[in-house]
A and B are shown apart, each in its own frame.
Chain A
Amino acid sequence: MGTATLLWKHRIFYLFVVPFAALTIVFGLWPIAMSVQVSFTDSFTALRPNPTYIGFANYLTIFADPQFQWSMAITLIYTVLSVAANVSLALLLALVLHNPMVRRGSTLFKLCIFLPVVTPDVAGYIVWKWIYNQNFGALNALLDILGLPAFGGIADSATALWAILLAELWHHVGFYTVIFLTNLQIVDPELEDAARIDGARPWQRIWYVVLPQLRPAIMINTVYALIQFLKTFTVIVVMTRGGPNFATNMVSYYAYLKFDQAQYGEATAMATTLFVAVIGLAYLMYWLNARTDWR
């Protein structure tokens, strides 16, 4: 059957897919292509009909820019810390919530932990910004009552990264917890019972029996969290604007600043670099997952 005949025969499926394909191209592939193209042009001419192509010059510029190196470094550090914090807290919460001994009220607890996930991020982060405030803030008022030293929050460059990590943890951890809980539902309880009869202590049962069965969820959560935190943006716009003293000037925010200053070439070169990093990591994880037998 010729291609034309094949297409005509299945024309209704092409019809179904047209709006989806149109949006994917117009709001996905086209702007990405445009952005990659702009990254090879001179910023002054980038938006003209005939831009000047300057090869990898923008990439060389950004990699030589100490501010960009700093941004890359804190983005990676922040991503690693956030992935570790979110995945491990989510695992802990899921194990507690799944345990039959807290069955009473577990729905309520789950709701409390998931609520921030669906709360508009702008609203959530604004509230956190004020919780950290030195004059109004609830956090330092509480620390004061407990006789603990004050927390610098987003005002101090030494603590700002931790402050946004905590706010993002509040916003995201419920999502990862629910994924762990979904996985826990298909964990075989008989294996745990067998281990119990064999005299395994609770932590041994978790480590040797439950955790291996949770590897799919650990995998999914890690990949999701990696992609999520590499792209950290909203929390910076709302809470710190990259400060204080560039302490939270992560790559996506720095690229956005460059774009705002009409440095289109450099901005899109940074965006493309981040894109390649995200794809590379996602692919690496996918590859690791495919070559490992999770059962």
Chain B
Amino acid sequence: MMRQLERPKPPVVVLAYAFIGVISLLFIYPYLWMFISSFRETEQILTEPLRLLPEALDISAYADLARLGGVSFWTYAVNSLLITGASTALTVMITALGAYALVRKPKLPGFRWLRFGFLLTIMYPYMLLVIPVYLVVFELSLHDTILGNYTGIILFLSLGPIQFFLFEQFFRSIPREIIDAAIVDGAGELQVLTRVVLPVSLPVVLTVTLVTFLLNWSQWFPVLVISRRPDTYTLPVALLNMNSELGTDFQGIMALATITTIPVLVVFLLTQRRVMSGMAAGAVKG
């Protein structure tokens, strides 16, 4: 009731909307510019950088992407899907089981050390970790075959802090009584996991799957470092390569950036509430 006592004056409301509206436009503008520029010829952009609608739909840049750096466009696209999909599935299984064991039996010998080691790992400057990781990949001889490259990349991407904290937080919230009751009823630990814990965990599993998919789709450095040939490159790596080439195929870069961005935009827009609250919750825990 009291909240109604003092209504904000109309000018204040207009001002607030103007502020947040302009900010939102500024945040969206790079996407618009990227998308529109991918349909405009380079000379046209040079003369009118701010034009909001393309003169004509010039799709030549997209057609030219068919072969990039001597590799078919579809190789990059399939790699992106394969590497992101496989690493997402593995992340969910591996971190869920790991976090579950660490939450259920934190006092078992070695478990505290494992958690500490994991926390240490996520504080190491990531990009500097990837280089010694290459040495490890070398030691495990995953470097000289394409299959080995895929394995190295996918396994490297299958561990993440936000995912671990989301699971840890969720498993801690399951009341002990439920699990104890199942054990009293004679359930083994495997049954507790599959019949008691798993059914209530589906929402958090879905959240972690979405967040991991979005995060791993963007990954580029491990892919670049572990890959020996462009055959295992993903879309962001192809984009980065195009960015570092001499000479500027501006329109082509914008077309590839658009293609790289659209899948995450679609997934995010369809699942935005879950993704935003999931990422916030995973961070708050850490």
Closest chain B CB from A215 CB (angstroms): 13
Contacts A27-B159, A32-B132, A117-B279 given; does A135 touch B46 at CB 8 Å: yes
Contacts A7-B109, A115-B27, A274-B125 given; does A23 touch B155 at CB 8 Å: yes
Is A111's CB under 8 angstroms from B269's CB?
A: yes
Contacts A7-B109, A13-B104, A123-B257 given; does A28 touch B121 at CB 8 Å: yes
Is B250's CB under 8 angstroms from A130's CB?
A: yes
**Chain B residues closer than 8 Å to A252, beta-carbon distance:** 125, 127-128
Is B33's CB under 8 angstroms from A122's CB?
A: no
**Chain B residues closer than 8 Å to A101, beta-carbon distance:** 8, 12-13, 16
For residue A179, which residue of chain B has the nearest CB?
B280
Give Cα A234–Cα B125 distance, bound, in whole angstroms: 12
Is B135's CB under 8 angstroms from A34's CB?
A: yes
Q: Which residues between 111 and 167 of chain B lie within 8 Å of chain A, taking CB atoms?
A: 111, 114, 117-118, 120-121, 123-129, 131-133, 135-136, 140, 155-156, 158-159
Contacts A126-B253, A227-B123 given; does A31 touch B135 at CB 8 Å: yes
**Chain A residues closer than 8 Å to B265, beta-carbon distance:** 115, 119
Is B16's CB under 8 angstroms from A96's CB?
A: yes
Report whether over half of chain A's contact residues are helix, strand or loop; otherwise say mixed.
helix
Is A193's CB under 8 angstroms from B30's CB?
A: no
Closest chain B CB from A224 CB (angstroms): 6
How many interface residues does B have (CB within 8 Å)? 97
Interface centre among B125, B132, B284 (most CB of A within 10 A): B125
**Chain B residues closer than 8 Å to A267, beta-carbon distance:** 128, 131
Is B128's CB under 8 angstroms from A255's CB?
A: yes
Is B49's CB under 8 angstroms from A124's CB?
A: no
Is A138's CB under 8 angstroms from B126's CB?
A: no
A147 close to B (CB within 8 Å): no
A77 close to B (CB within 8 Å): no
User: What is the interface residue range for chain A against chain B?
Assistant: 35 or more
Is A16's CB under 8 angstroms from B100's CB?
A: yes
Contacts A128-B30, A224-B283 given; does A21 touch B98 at CB 8 Å: yes
- Residue-wise interface mask of A (124-149) relative to B, using a CB-CB cutoff of 8 A (1 in contact, 0 not): 10111111000111100110010000
Binds A, one of B59-67, B71-79, B177-185, B217-225: B217-225
B6 close to A (CB within 8 Å): yes
Q: Which residues between 210 and 262 of chain A lie within 8 Å of chain B, taking CB atoms?
A: 217, 220, 224, 227, 230-231, 233-234, 237-238, 252, 255-256, 259
Is A237's CB under 8 angstroms from B132's CB?
A: no
**Chain B residues closer than 8 Å to A274, beta-carbon distance:** 125, 128
B34 close to A (CB within 8 Å): yes
**Chain A residues closer than 8 Å to B155, beta-carbon distance:** 23, 26-27
Binds B, one of A53-61, A80-88, A275-283: A275-283
Please tell me which one of the listed residues A115, A121, A128, A193 contacts residue B2 in the complex, with CB atoms under 8 A apart. Answer: A193
Is B94's CB under 8 angstroms from A23's CB?
A: yes
Is B125's CB under 8 angstroms from A122's CB?
A: no
Is A12's CB under 8 angstroms from B108's CB?
A: no
Give Cα A116–Cα B268 distance, bound, in whole angstroms: 11
Binds B, one of A63-71, A102-110, A153-161, A287-295: A102-110
Q: Which residues between 19 and 66 of chain B lie within 8 Å of chain A, taking CB atoms?
A: 19-21, 23-25, 27-31, 33-34, 37, 42, 45-46, 49-50
B169 close to A (CB within 8 Å): no
Contacts A142-B50, A182-B277, A252-B128 given; does A10 touch B156 at CB 8 Å: no
Contacts A119-B261, A123-B257 given; does A238 touch B34 at CB 8 Å: no
Contacts A28-B129, A29-B121 given; does A120 touch B264 at CB 8 Å: yes
Q: Which residues between 15 and 40 of chain A lie within 8 Å of chain B, taking CB atoms?
A: 16-17, 19-21, 23-32, 34-35, 38
**Chain A residues closer than 8 Å to B49, beta-carbon distance:** 136-138, 141
Q: Would you give 15 A-B contacts (Cβ < 8 Å), ordered by A?
A: A12-B189, A17-B101, A20-B95, A23-B159, A27-B159, A28-B124, A93-B20, A99-B16, A108-B24, A115-B31, A120-B217, A127-B34, A128-B30, A136-B46, A170-B27
B residues near A (Cβ < 8 Å) are 2-3, 5-6, 8, 12-13, 16-17, 19-21, 23-25, 27-31, 33-34, 37, 42, 45-46, 49-50, 93-95, 97-102, 104-105, 108-109, 111, 114, 117-118, 120-121, 123-129, 131-133, 135-136, 140, 155-156, 158-159, 189-190, 193, 214, 217-218, 220-221, 235-236, 239-240, 243, 250, 253-254, 257, 260-261, 264-265, 268-269, 272, 275-277, 279-281, 283-284, 286
A residues near B (Cβ < 8 Å) are 3, 6-7, 10, 12-14, 16-17, 19-21, 23-32, 34-35, 38, 47, 93, 96-97, 99-102, 105, 108-124, 126-131, 135-138, 141-142, 145, 170, 174-175, 178-179, 181-182, 189, 193, 196-197, 217, 220, 224, 227, 230-231, 233-234, 237-238, 252, 255-256, 259, 267-268, 270-271, 274-275, 278-279, 282
For the A-B complex with A30-B136, A116-B30 known, give 9 more contacts whose Cβ atoms are closer than 8 Å: A28-B129, A29-B121, A32-B121, A109-B23, A119-B218, A138-B33, A178-B276, A182-B277, A256-B131
